[in-house]
Amino acid sequence: MKILQPTFFLFVFIPLVKLAPPIQQESFNFYDYDTDFIKGKMVQQDDEMKFKDVRKLLHMEDGMIDSPDTNVKLQNDESIPDVPPTKDTNLPTCLLCVCLSGSVYCEETDIESVPPLPKETAYLYARFNKIKKVVVSDFADIPTLKRIDFTGNMIEVIEDGTFSKLLLLEELSLAENKLVKLPVLPPKLITFNANHNRIKSRGIKANAFKKLTNLSHLYLGHNALDSVPLNLPESLCILHLQFNNITTIKDDTFCKSNNTRYVHPHMEEIRMEGNPIILGKHPNAFSCLRTLPTGAYY
């Protein structure tokens, strides 16, 4: 008689649950707001990172709850669609623009005047708008401003005194506007850009730059100047005067006519191409410079 031995069956249980893919975090796009008017030596940018568009967060209700998926929902379970940047110029400044850590970004918003700014504002970027006039009251209560950029507007008039009392202002761009004369500039200015305007020599006062002892970068290219501005400070490193209508230059514009041993301490670059002046006829005007200006010499 045969004895049946028990047979053992090993069952391998394989989980039938499909593994979920790893959760991907939503990425945020950042936009770097440069001050593109400095050539060669760029001014250091803000340390803080800026969101390209945070306005849609401002439109969300306070009753938001967390959701398992990436869509944020209100308590009534209505999904919020993506909202494009608003163009409503009646909104308060920090809804129309983006306000971050002392900086106000108000670019391409179609504003026609300078909006009211938070009192702690240090950096104002109002590029590519429709601003036509800047008045004293725009910055009367904002003494903390260090940088203002009005590039690409339609500015024709700036009241005298608008910038002169901004004692901390170091960088000012008025490029690509419709100015025919310069306003009084603040005393601690380091970089000033007025390229691509309609500025004439009679629109620059004789001592406009004389007391700006920190000024190192001066951009006046593509205007209607017929002479090099007078009384330029020795602090200048970069001077752009290209594509004007300059026909004359004095021996003491950059040098000291009574001191033949004088060497300009800081000047590194002067652009004068695109002007009718023949620089070769004025050798004494550049004898103190380490580098000759760019332009026509014969």
What are the φ and ψ backbone dihedral angles of 285, each rounded to 5 degrees? Answer: -70, -20
SS3 93: helix
Extended beta strands in 152-253, E state: 157-158, 171-173, 191-193, 217-219, 238-240
State which H helix or E strand residue 57 sits in. helix 55-58
> 150 or 248, which is more confident?
150
Q: Is the pLDDT of residue 16 over 60?
A: no
Instruction: Return the CATH class of domain 144-297.
Output: alpha beta
Examine the pLDDT at 21 and tell me if it is beyond 50.
no
Counting Cα atoms < 13 Å in the Cβ hemisphere of 102 gives: 12
pLDDT, tens only, 50-104: 434 444 443 333 333 333 333 333 344 444 344 344 344 455 899 999 999 999 9
214 to each of 9, 34, 208, 283, how far by Cα in Å?
90, 21, 13, 28
- Tens-digit pLDDT profile for residues 141-194: 999 999 999 999 999 999 989 998 899 999 999 999 999 999 999 999 999 999
Tokens of 153: 């507007």
Task: Give SS3 for 31.
Answer: coil
Contact 73, 79 (CB under 8 A): yes
Residue length, the chain?
298
pLDDT in tens, 107-127: 999 999 999 999 999 999 999
| pLDDT score at 258 | 86
Which residues share a beta bridge with 91?
none
Regarding beta strands 103-105 and 98-100, do their DSSP bridges make them parallel or antiparallel, or are they unpaired?
Answer: antiparallel
Q: Is 206 buried (19+), middle (13-18) or exposed (0-12) by CB count in 10 A?
A: exposed
Q: What is the DSSP string of 31-97?
A: -----TT--SSPPPPPSS--BS--HHHHTS-TT-B--SSSS-B-TT-PBPPP-PPP--TTS-HHHHS
Q: Is the dihedral of CA 38, 43, 49, 53 positive or negative?
A: negative
- Identify which has the larger pLDDT, 192 or 10: 192
- The per-residue DSSP string of 99-149 comes to EETTEEE--SS--SSPPP--TT--EEE--SS---EE-GGGSTT-TT--EEE
pLDDT value of position 45: 39
Highest mean pLDDT among 8-17, 58-67, 270-279: 270-279
Judge contact between 253 and 230, C-beta under 8 A: yes
End-to-end CA distance of the chain: 126
Query: What is the distance of C-alpha 222 from the center of its chain?
Result: 19
Q: Which of 108, 90, 120, 92 is nearest to 53 (CA)?
A: 108
Place of tokens 């944020």: 72
pLDDT digits over 24-54, tens only?
433 333 333 333 444 333 333 343 334 344 4
Give yes or no for a contact between 131 and 124, defined as CB atoms under 8 angstroms apart.
Answer: no
